[in-house]
Amino acid sequence: MKRSYTCILCPNGCTLEALVEEGRVQSVTGQLCPRGEAYVRQEVTDPRRTIASSVLVRGGTLPLASVRLTAPIPKGMIFPVMQAIRQVELQAPVQAGTVVLRRVCGLDSDVVVTRTVPAR
């Protein structure tokens, strides 16, 4: 079965065609760099995503602090990870770079603050 993908690994955004049979990639065409083929193989066998979100900050100049994952996680774990992130509540001041959840949901990814929020 032929499947189409848009590679997101570099600015080229190549449109890729993959021949996939029995869950295995037989061939990939359309890539302008070697990363395109690797991207399709990853998408077929173990799709991963990264998350950017925000958490509540009490006593800060802003009500929320932005957060992100330090590494992509399995696509099927997005909802459990988001549920864990929603439980986080921080007290200002909050520094960018602060890890608020280590190994979130037992995965090899941390949730880290990406924006400093000073106290009021």
CATH code, domain carrying 104: 3.10.530.10
Instruction: Report pLDDT for 62.
Output: 97
Give the pTM: 0.83
Q: Give the model's pLDDT for residue 110.
A: 98
Residue 118 lies in a domain: no
- Domain hosting residue 96, numbered range: 52-113
Q: How many domains does the chain have?
A: 2
Give 56's pLDDT tier (boundaries 50, 70, 90).
very high
The helix (H) or strand (E) run that includes residue 5 is: strand 2-6
Query: What's the CA angle centered on 9, arms 14 and 29, to 5 degrees?
Result: 35
Q: Are residues 57 and 109 in the same domain?
A: yes
Question: Looking at residue 52, what is its pLDDT?
Answer: 97
Confidence (pLDDT) at 109: 98
**Which residues, in sequence order, are CB contacts of 89 under 8 Å at separation 6+?**
55, 56, 57, 58
Mean pLDDT over residues 63-76, rounded?
A: 97
User: 90 and 72, same structural domain?
Assistant: yes
Whether residues 40 and 58 fall in one domain:
no
Calculate ∠ Cα 82-48-109, nearest 5°. 55
- 71 and 105 in a single domain? The answer is yes
Q: Which whole-number Å values give the CA distances from 47 to 1, 42, 76, in the listed order? A: 18, 6, 8
Same domain (yes/no): 30, 70: no
